[in-house]
Structure 1
Amino acid sequence: MERYDLLYRLYEEFDAESVRESQDFIDLLPPLDSSVALSHWQAVNDELTEQKDHIRRAFADGDRYAELAAHATRDEAFTALDLYTKYGRSVNALVLDVDETLRSAGRTDNEIPREVLHLLTELYELDVPIVICTGQTLENVKGFMIQGMGNTLVHSGNFSIVYEAGTGVFTPGHGSDTKRLLYESLDETVQSVFEGVRGGVMRELPESLRGDVHLQGNEFNVTLKPNFETGSDEAERVIDESLVFMLDLLGSVVTDREDGSTWARAYYADSDSEIAGVLDALGAETGSIAEIPDDVYETFERITVAYYHADAAELSAVALNKAAGVEAALDVLGIDDPFILMMGDSKSDRKVMEWAADGKRGISAAPEHSSETVLEQVRSTDDLVFDRGDAASILRTVYALNLLTD
């Protein structure tokens, strides 16, 4: 109980909130080319130094507790201590989804907040590698991460990108391992199905969808995205219709028979209640899963059709997912005993969360608006659910956990 007693003392006897506000000001608002602004910045910095020195003198392990006060709220610090008590480990890699996790269209104008970028940089400087884990294309992710965190960090050798939900891993600075194309390991049958769907997806696109959707520029996965704002009624309509089209196209490529479309609808409706709901709402006829021939069924078993409400309809390989991509990234980074922080909001992120929980390989966190399956997973482990647009709170908690573990 000694550490709990020390935390109680820190947050009861000292104005930790003022210390943290001063630290945030110094970190996030560097002095400008103005004598007045510079004078104010210096005054705050001097006050922060005095506040930290006061804490350092009061505790035997003063540096640790001064930094705790400067970086974590009372609740974040106690959550970190609970995690330390449970696991006894520090986080040695950050695995982070981007859209609606690090950034949120509802709260952050779809930009990664400055505080989040700063905390990521601070954790990186404490030798915690960063793995961005996303469904987006490599070039898109690499571009905005360089813009947000700088070219030096992204190409440091301690930064990796799992892109297209696990089809590839990009880890600059690792020679022949810099880019691992995981989809190249798939057998010829699966690869030929993707070639057929990719070749026909725009050529056979129904007239009702032309001009309303576009094919994301992936290396391997086949993803249809709306030409409307994600989450809007228009996006919902076209993605629902795109899902049915994707299923029918997949069925025809796999079987080259008229029954193929109803077999694909039947299989994926049976495996995903959201897909079943879309097919039912659109009145799309589905066959019986019992009628699917064994060889067709086995092929469907190896291919994922993912539906993201008013966002995307996507074809991917079962063997390629974010968890497989994260394992590959950690292997390249040389992290053979991982204890990660996984932050995400969608069904594809849950696979990484399950991988972390099942092997005691880390902790998971999710924003409050995540898919229900993700929230179930997070609440069943450490209940690290945060407000929309407030990824910084979890990063501060991890910063505190690592301080307490050192």
Structure 2
Amino acid sequence: MEQYDRLYRLYETVDTETVRAYQELVDLFPALRSTVGLEQWERARTELDERKAAIAEQFPDPYAEIAAHLTREEAFTALDLYAKYDRTVNVLVLDVDETLRSAGDTDNEIPRSTLHLLTEFHERGVPIVVCTGQTLENVKGFMIQGLGNDVVSSGALSVVYETGNAAFTPNHGADTKRLLYEGLDPVIVETFDDVRGRVLSDAPDSVRRGCHLQGNEFNVTIKPNAEVGSDDAVTVIDEAVRYFCGLVGEALAGAVDTDVAEPELLARTYFAKDPEIAAVFDDGDLAYDADLDGAPSRYTDALERIDVGYYEGDAAELVSLELDKPTGVRAALDVLGIEDPFALSMGDSKSDLRVMEWLADTDSGIAAAPEHASQGVLDHVNDRDELVYTAGEASSVLKIVYGMELLAGVEAA
């Protein structure tokens, strides 16, 4: 109870809100070129140092840092988590879109407070695994812009991209780029190659003119030319997914080299197990009533290893079920040399949930999610540690994890 008593006394007796304000000013608004700006920054830094020194006279060393970075609620949450797991986080596994950044609240940029904390973790030797459905070039671009090339190329940051198809970990020689999709069954690879080569050229005019192919290495992803989420985007992606599912079925039939009757109908029937896709078929008066049990087993076995993702007004995507984010994360951890991970996993979607569940099943980490995450993700996070945060404020969870490390330092002293 000593740690709890100290925290209680800290937040009761110290104006921690002002200390945090000075710390934020020093961290996020560094010294400017103007004389006036430099003087203001130096005054803030001096005031911060004096206030931290006053805290250090009453509390063990890390408590000044706790006061400067964490709210009372964040500090007590950090202590609860440390007491529960008796471990600190030794790797960050982070989704990006709608997790680190939120288009509705942060102009689709990762907030400076979040970037600063990621840099702080990097400097403390905590590796970062960015785990996303995006292409490698997109991720590299905004991570270099946000964290700097030195961090991205340090050897302590890995990018799991295209939802687990590959892992890119700079400065690791032959292991720098692990192309996990190269190990798939040739039938699956051939199906993806066929779909990729024909998806736009064979498409109906409205889909061919209204969509473009995202530049993935392996996944096949159709994106709308219209603004994502707009009525036009919803219409064209609905048309695209109706066509796309049939094309996948046809390509798979060619890859398995087996006589398959009505492969397009078989594929639509299989993918209609997703109620959202079934609703799109219904809206287009498209049948999905084939007898899957009567189809060749070689075809249905292969069909069960792939999936079509439908994202209303955003994308239609062909993915391999044998490659997912947990697979990519495991590859990244192997390259990074993390044999006993205890990770913070942050995400908002079904693909992120798979990582969270894997970490929970192996007692290898904790999970956090934004409040707008899918219901399955929210249920998991709330059942575990209730680390749900407001959109655009991923830094609040990173501060809690930072607080766990600081509190562990007190106990070790």
TM range (shorter): over 0.9
Amino acid across the alignment from 1:372? Q
Partner of 1:401: 404
Amino acid across the alignment from 2:384? T
For the residues of structure 2 that align with 1:231 and 1:10, how far apart are their CA atoms?
A: 47
Are the equivalent residues in 1 in contact too, given 2:92–2:345 (CA < 8 A)?
yes
For the residues of structure 1 that align with 2:275 and 2:330, how far apart are their CA atoms?
A: 28
With 329-338 and 229-238 compared, the bigger mean Cα shift is at: 229-238
Are the equivalent residues in 2 in contact too, given 1:167–1:183 (CA < 8 A)?
yes
Give matches, 1:305-316, under 5 Å.
305-316=308-319
Normalised by the length of structure 1, the TM-score is 0.96
Partner of 2:156: 158
Equivalent residue for 2:175, pick from 172, 177, 193: 177
For the residues of structure 2 that align with 1:44 and 1:311, how far apart are their CA atoms?
A: 45
Amino acid across the alignment from 2:285? G
Partner of 1:282: 284
Are the equivalent residues in 1 in contact too, given 2:187–2:252 (CA < 8 A)?
no
Deviation at 1:295, TM superposition (A): 2.0
Distance 1:258 1:241, change over 3 A: farther
After superposition, the CA RMSD in angstroms is: 1.3
Are the equivalent residues in 2 in contact too, given 1:22–1:44 (CA < 8 A)?
yes
Q: Does 1:120 align with 2:123?
A: no
Distance 1:104 1:377, change over 3 A: same
Query: Could you say what secondary structure the match of 2:285 adopts?
Result: coil
Equivalent residue for 2:321, pick from 300, 312, 318: 318
Partner of 2:266: 263
For the residues of structure 2 that align with 1:330 and 1:22, how far apart are their CA atoms?
A: 36
Amino acid across the alignment from 2:367? S
Partner of 1:253: 251
Partner of 2:345: 342
Partner of 1:50: 50
Are the equivalent residues in 1 in contact too, given 2:306–2:320 (CA < 8 A)?
yes
Deviation at 1:258, TM superposition (A): 5.6
Are the equivalent residues in 1 in contact too, given 2:93–2:346 (CA < 8 A)?
yes
Query: Could you say what secondary structure the match of 2:178 adopts?
Result: strand
For the residues of structure 2 that align with 1:64 and 1:124, how far apart are their CA atoms?
A: 19
For the residues of structure 2 that align with 1:101 and 1:228, how far apart are their CA atoms?
A: 24
Amino acid across the alignment from 1:277? A
Partner of 2:233: 235
Partner of 1:5: 5
Equivalent residue for 1:298, pick from 293, 296, 301: 301
Amino acid across the alignment from 1:40? Q
For the residues of structure 2 that align with 1:282 and 1:130, how far apart are their CA atoms?
A: 44
Deviation at 1:290, TM superposition (A): 3.6
Are the equivalent residues in 1 in contact too, given 2:201–2:208 (CA < 8 A)?
no
With 305-314 and 144-153 compared, the bigger mean Cα shift is at: 305-314
Are the equivalent residues in 2 in contact too, given 1:322–1:349 (CA < 8 A)?
yes
Deviation at 1:354, TM superposition (A): 0.8
Equivalent residue for 1:384, pick from 377, 387, 390: 387
Query: Could you say what secondary structure the match of 1:341 adopts?
Result: strand
Equivalent residue for 1:213, pick from 188, 211, 214: 211
Amino acid across the alignment from 1:2? E
Deviation at 1:267, TM superposition (A): 1.0
Q: Percent identity?
A: 57
Query: Could you say what secondary structure the match of 1:107 adopts?
Result: helix
Are the equivalent residues in 2 in contact too, given 1:252–1:258 (CA < 8 A)?
no
Partner of 2:34: 34
Are the equivalent residues in 1 in contact too, given 2:220–2:317 (CA < 8 A)?
yes
Distance 1:156 1:265, change over 3 A: same
Partner of 2:65: 67
Are the equivalent residues in 1 in contact too, given 2:360–2:366 (CA < 8 A)?
yes
With 67-76 and 239-248 compared, the bigger mean Cα shift is at: 239-248
Deviation at 1:66, TM superposition (A): 0.5
Deviation string, structure 1 residues 376-405 (Cα, Å, up to 9, x no partner): 221221121111111111111111112112
Deviation at 1:310, TM superposition (A): 2.1
Equivalent residue for 2:130, pick from 106, 110, 132: 132
Deviation string, structure 1 residues 239-275 (Cα, Å, up to 9, x no partner): 22222222100111122556111211111222x2332
Deviation at 1:143, TM superposition (A): 1.2
Give structure 2 stretches of 5+ with no counterpart: 255-259
Partner of 2:22: 22
Amino acid across the alignment from 1:305? V
Q: Does 1:372 align with 2:375?
A: yes
Query: Could you say what secondary structure the match of 1:111 adopts?
Result: coil
Are the equivalent residues in 2 in contact too, given 1:263–1:291 (CA < 8 A)?
no
Deviation at 1:344, TM superposition (A): 0.9
Query: Could you say what secondary structure the match of 2:209 adopts?
Result: coil
Partner of 2:257: none
Are the equivalent residues in 1 in contact too, given 2:306–2:318 (CA < 8 A)?
yes
With 21-30 and 197-206 compared, the bigger mean Cα shift is at: 197-206
Deviation at 1:291, TM superposition (A): 4.0
Amino acid across the alignment from 1:278? V
